Amino acid sequence: MDELNKNKPLEKLDPDFIRKNIKAVTFDIDGVIIPTGTFLRESVDSTELIVRTHKLSREMIEMIKELKKYVWINFSSGRALLYLEHMLEDILWDKVSLIAENGNFILLDGKIEQLSLYEQSYFQKITDIRNDIKKLKEEKPDSIYGFEPKHIIITVHTAKKIPEVEEIVKKHDRENELYCLWTNEGYDIGYKKINKRTALEYLAGKLKIKPEEMITIGNNLNDKEMLDFGIGISVDPEQVSGEYAIPKKKGELGGEILAEYLLGAMRR
């Protein structure tokens, strides 16, 4: 994507083009369609885990239900698939797919697909990293809150950036095959070659659509590849760029603004 053509205002996205060409929309979740601010606390011995997050607003639920009359709806997240099903239960299942763990899994037409196979050495590396972070948590219980349950990637919640976490990843990843991304609530750690775009390419193939027939919307570094697929819209251009952008404003969710804009185009 040409740098000069990035982050154009949403109003530049022609409603007639939307109505005639768009067949699918992919929403990131945290900070896009729900507010950021997951509360996670895990006991040092890992015997207790408390997770609280937000759910879709009633207005967004109704907009998604109407949007499904016109386009396929896809949600892409770093969260685990089971947790996504719980969060989004009010708008499943017809014409909806879920991408979980940053492109590693997709739930489509009632079937779960793991989109990449890993050697045992990968899982051993991830386990070693997790174990070292657990030891660090014992030293910094007020800074490292705990881990989200995941199958393939690690998501550890922290109070702030912790350089020791990045150092642990580097220590075990001598092949430099892993990413360690700060998400404003902690770190996502996983395999570099698999990302949200990986799953979008798979989805587009299954839906038999072209990238330019899909809109994608996100707000963070782990959305970069996704926003470069199709028509990308950033809701936090200071973090990540898209072809279009919705300015970040306190009390507003860019995903809700986009849903309303799309419905305005489709209803014409």
| DSSP secondary structure of 161-179 | --HHHHHHHHHH-TT--EE
Q: How many CB atoms lie within 10 A of CB 230?
A: 23
Where in the chain do CATH 3.30.70 domains reside? 120-191
How many CA atoms lie less than 13 Å away from 208 in the CB half-sphere?
Answer: 0
Q: What's the length of the chain?
A: 268
Q: Which amino acid is at 44?
A: V
Question: Can you spell out the DSSP letters for 198-256?
Answer: HHHHHHHHHHT--GGGEEEEE-SGGGHHHHTSSEEEES-TTT---SEE----TT--HHH
Task: Check if the beta carbon of residue 63 is closer than 8 Å to that of residue 256.
Answer: yes
Low-confidence ranges of the chain (pLDDT < 70): 1-5
Class of domain 120-191 as given by CATH: alpha beta
CA-based nearest residue to 228, from 214, 238, 207, 239: 214
Q: What is the pLDDT of residue 251?
A: 83
The pTM assigned to this predicted structure is 0.90
Q: Which amino acid is at 49?
A: L
Q: What CATH code is assigned to 3-116+194-266?
A: 3.40.50.1000
CA 145 from chain center: how many Å? 21
32 by DSSP, 3-state: which? coil
**Pure H helices in the chain:** 15-21, 58-67, 81-87, 120-139, 163-172, 196-207, 224-227, 254-266
Backbone angles phi and psi of 96, in degrees to 5: -135, 135
Q: What is the pLDDT of residue 2?
A: 52
Beta-sheet strand order (sheet of 154-158): 144-147, 154-158, 186-191, 178-182
CA distance 26 to 226: 9
Q: What is the pLDDT of residue 57?
A: 92
Where in the chain do CATH 3.40.50.1000 domains reside? 3-116+194-266
Structure tokens, 161 = 């950036």
CA 155 from chain center: how many Å? 12
Structure tokens, 184 = 């404003």
Q: How many CB atoms lie within 10 A of CB 150?
A: 23
